[in-house]
Amino acid sequence: ETGECTSNPAFMLGSCAKSCGTCKPPSLYRMCEDTMHACQRVYFDMRIGEIPTGRIVMDLFHKVVPRTAENFFELTTRQKCGYRGTRFHRIIPGFMAQGGSTCGNSIYGKSFEDENFELVFEEPYLLGMANGGPDTNGDSFFITVNPAPHLDRKFVVFGTVVKGHDVVDRISELGTKSFAGEVTAEVMIQETGFLEWEKTELL
């Protein structure tokens, strides 16, 4: 729906990656625990069709990528022109699920620069900014379900899922293995917000 990533074939190269079938806590989460005030915490309450599906809790790495994390935080917590009430419009099983806001812009304007590529896609359940090329970040984002090193230094990593991995996995099955990633069911972000950060018992 947003048109982002359609001009970037590199984004598709990981679509056939096989799941390892195991679940482990993301190592990047240690940064949130070990560095005071390193992360902001937000959530999506998800719905598939008319059925409530569960909550995805995400930590945003605002100490590493403050502008990118603030963009996502603001779009998650605002009442209008944010992520509340929007859909995941592009899903590629084994790779990622992509969403965006209702207004199509970042909080800084139509787009903003790639802040840095300090973090890489070395593990599953990372949040990355979708784009149409260098320095074209807007409101579109994606959540990976497998490591995706082919995205390194092309897309900015700005967060990780800390709870609701099962919800992400379920959503990631509702797409097609094509570049367009047509969805096979309505995947709605029904409610959004922020949470006070605290150490999380990861499952």
Of 18 and 128, the structure prediction assigns the larger pLDDT to 128
pLDDT of residue 37: 67
| The pLDDT of residue 38 | 76
User: Do the Cβ atoms of 203 and 169 come closer than 8 Å?
Assistant: no
Q: Which residues of 30-46 are buried (b: 16+ CB within 10 A; e: fewer)?
A: ebbeeeeebbbbbbbbb
Please determine, for residue 94, whether its predicted confidence score (pLDDT) is greater than 80. yes
DSSP code at position 33 = H
Phi, psi for residue 31 in degrees, rounded to 5: -60, -40
| Residue 198's pLDDT band (cuts 50, 70, 90) | confident
**What is the secondary structure of 8-19 as a DSSP string?**
-GGGGTTTTPPP
Q: Which amino acid is at 127?
A: L
> Cβ neighbours of residue 35 under 8 Å, at least 6 residues apart?
63
pLDDT of 104: 83
Residue 15's pLDDT is: 35
Question: Residue 133's pLDDT band (boundaries 50, 70, 90)?
Answer: very high
Residue 10 has pLDDT above 80, yes or no: no
Residue type, 15: S
Average pLDDT for residues 142-153, to the nearest whole number?
Answer: 96
- Reported as a pLDDT band with limits 50, 70 and 90, residue 23 is very low
Q: What is the pTM of this model?
A: 0.83
pLDDT digits (tens, 9 = 90+) for 60-93: 999 999 999 999 999 999 988 899 999 999 999 9
Helices (H) and strands (E) in the chain — how many of each?
3, 8
Average pLDDT value for the chain:
85
Query: Which residues, 6+ apart, have CB-to-CB distance to 202 below 8 Å?
Result: 25, 26, 29, 162, 163
- For 132-144, what is the mean pLDDT? 97
**For residue 50, what pLDDT is reported?**
95
